[in-house]
Amino acid sequence: IARKEARAMRHSHNSGMLLVALAGLFIANPAWAQTPPDFLKGLTGVNVKVVFDEGHGTGGAARKALTGDLGLESGPIQAETELRLRQAGMKILPSTSRSSFSPTLVIAVVAAGTKAVLVHIALCELATLDRGSLRWTASTWEQEAVMQVNTAIQIREEIRDNVSAFLNQWLADNGK
């Protein structure tokens, strides 16, 4: 019995360490969130897109938890974000067709189960690779947070914090 208990404790400890390591990858200063200085310089406007998604294997329950149980709606989040960007002096660009592309600030709220949520904000722009003339969309600024959620207010506050980080970087890079 002692051997089984020791093995169970070791397994439990290893699982806990794995969870801490994975959380650290997402939360503690991810490299992709560290934008070089002046990287947003010259950006004059963005299109805003809000997306609700769910993790793999949740069978629709996670998305329902976001939009149904918590009552999150993309319209109010998009309107609030666009207002904050305008107040800071950034132009809001119209939605584009598939044949053209404008810089887009994507706000993704991804549910993993009914309580864990990833809030991911990324500026997606059209980029040209040095190899030939291949043009592709690329994320040029990102920030995200993994959180345990009980209310829509918590998610909206996290979105506001991430939008503030984007605006602060944009203002600093453009000398405003």
What mean pLDDT is reported for the chain? 76
DSSP states of 114-134 = TTEEEEEEEEEEEEE-SSTT-
Residues 7, 10, 16, CA angle at the centre, nearest 5°?
140
Contact residues for 117 (Cβ-Cβ < 8 A; gap 6+): 66, 109, 110, 111, 146, 147, 148, 149, 155
54-113 residue pLDDT tens = 665 555 666 677 777 778 888 999 999 999 999 999 999 988 656 567 899 999 998 876
Token pair belonging to 59: 């069978």
pLDDT value of residue 104: 92
Q: What is the mean pLDDT of residues 16-21?
A: 36
124-160 residue pLDDT tens = 988 777 776 777 788 889 999 988 877 889 999 999 9
pLDDT value of residue 14: 38
